Structure 1
Amino acid sequence: MPIIVNLDVVLAQRKMRLNTLAAIVGITAQNLSVLKTGRAKAIRFDTLEKICAILECQPGDILAYSPDTAPVSLSSTDQKELSDEE
């Protein structure tokens, strides 16, 4: 997956435990663990906002993009939408 989650790094830098962050943010430690391990398919912006506020960081400190070796193939509908925007 090309999205890398660095939540564990930021937590270590802040010397904060996952359970503590989960309690402050108001989500379960299990859901936060799913995000931390990179298994999450999505994150709500309000949750990301709370995490960033508590950890005093930017979203880019937690999430990074690293392109895969395999190119992304767009559906014909997506390709048409992109060409319509130009």
Structure 2
Amino acid sequence: MAIILRLDRVMADRKISLNDLADQVGIANVSLSKIKTGKVSAIRFSTLNAICDALDCQRFSFFHIGCMLPCGYWACALFLP
């Protein structure tokens, strides 16, 4: 099982750019880009709360738990609330 980030989809739905979100959250563009692409191994809850406040979404609304299928596609097993 893996945690799949869908921050890019939430940002697209809200029509907000990476630069604008980074400014609102108060973190560097590079750090937010790493979060968006899933290149981080941890994220502070304070950062997660700031992202959710800026995007006006529920906590963990852009995380999914899934697994890689043998064909190479991801299967989402559970959507976190």
TM-score (ref. length: structure 1): 0.74
2:26 matched residue in structure 1: 26
Q: How many Å apart are 1:58 and its aligned residue?
A: 1.6
Aligned-residue CA RMSD (Å): 1.5
Q: Secondary structure at the match of 1:40?
A: coil
Give, as a single letter, the amino acid of the residue that structure 2 aligns with 1:5.
L
Give, as a single letter, the amino acid of the residue that structure 1 aligns with 2:8.
D
TM-score (ref. length: structure 2): 0.78
Percent identical residues: 46
Q: Which has the higher helix share?
A: 1
Report whether the alignment pairs 1:61 with 2:50.
Answer: no
Deviations 1:17-74 (A, max 9, x none): 01100011010010000010011110000000011111111233211111356xxxxx
Find the structure with the greater CA-based Rg.
Answer: 1
For structure 2, list consecutive stretches of 5 or more residues without a partner in the other structure.
70-81
Aligned residue pair count:
69
1:6 matched residue in structure 2: 6
How many angstroms apart in 1 are the aligned matches of 2:58 and 2:64?
Answer: 11
For structure 1, list consecutive stretches of 5 or more residues without a partner in the other structure.
70-86
Runs of 4+ in 1 over 4 A off after TM superposition: none
Q: Which has the higher strand share?
A: 2
Higher RCO (Cα < 8 Å, 6 or more apart): 1
How many angstroms apart in 2 are the aligned matches of 1:6 and 1:23?
Answer: 20
